[in-house]
Structure 1
Amino acid sequence: MDNNFIEELLNHPYEEKSIKSLRGEFWIEEVFTNKNNHIDGEIRSGIHGDDLLNGSVEIHIDIEKFKNEHHARFGYLEVPSRISNHGIGTTLMLSVIDIIKAFKEFYSVGETVSVSGWLSTSDKQNGNWNKSVPLYEKIGYLANVESNFTIKNDENHYTAEDFLRISNDDGSIIYLI
């Protein structure tokens, strides 16, 4: 994503805009819509040569909140088990961080932007946290951005290991970009 793509997105409200690219052995498709200065997008990625199986993640940027409060969200990182552990989740989350960096540059935001994603206890109960929480922490390391975890109604910030050990409630992963 670059400034031209962002300008096209902003200048054509309610019109779906997409861009496709390759990142190593993966294809990436970014699809966005500007709805009253609220950018809703989905990023899909899969192994190059296989267009049928892919993972996806949502991204949500309220432009005013982004510029003034320096916050954005992502949601529903999903990778089918048949293609999990191949780097698709990593590729998707690194793309989320790259998009936030592009919007920071476009709007000349010098302050740190926090990007959060919800961690549901239903994912803890089905075992998904054992994969997703360490992955989210790894993404922060790979992208060279700070990451931490919070627990609902708790002001503290935790490492992935501490979050997994003590959390019995919904939480969030937060990247500081």
Structure 2
Amino acid sequence: MQVLLTKRILLSSIAASALVFAAKGVRAADPGDTAAQIYAIYVDAMTQTNAALEGSPPVTLELGADLDTIKEAAVTKLVALGHDVAAMSASDRASVEGKLSSLVSSIHRDPATKDVYTGYQSIWKAYVGEDQEFFEKIKSLNILTQYAFFDLLRKQEPDEADRLGV
């Protein structure tokens, strides 16, 4: 089951990345669309994590690897969008940040995402006293959107920025 989940996540990540690149063409990225895409990736990563951890299975190396796969797939898509954000004017970048902040702030009120947020909070609580490294994997999803903002990523996670070459 876990291997199938991992393969499905990887394939969906590749397909989504291809769609993002194909849809962009040569036109400049729209700040509102970019913020919505970043948010969708964030929500999708949480949704996949909720599914992987449904029923609070015991912590295993395989489960940790599944979470790594979910996060890395999201990171790949966010970094691709981050290049668009980096190429924007300062006012457009601020627009993306503001719109995204508004979306993330409303995740628990929006009927379309409320269950995702509630599920993530339940998982957070279920694993808070467990293996610290595993818990950090869950916790790191909460700030996943930083991968689309290279200045912020470099400030908060310089080793990750170096790893990704941004």
Q: Same fold (TM over 0.5)?
A: no
Higher strand share: 1
TM range (shorter): 0.3 to 0.5
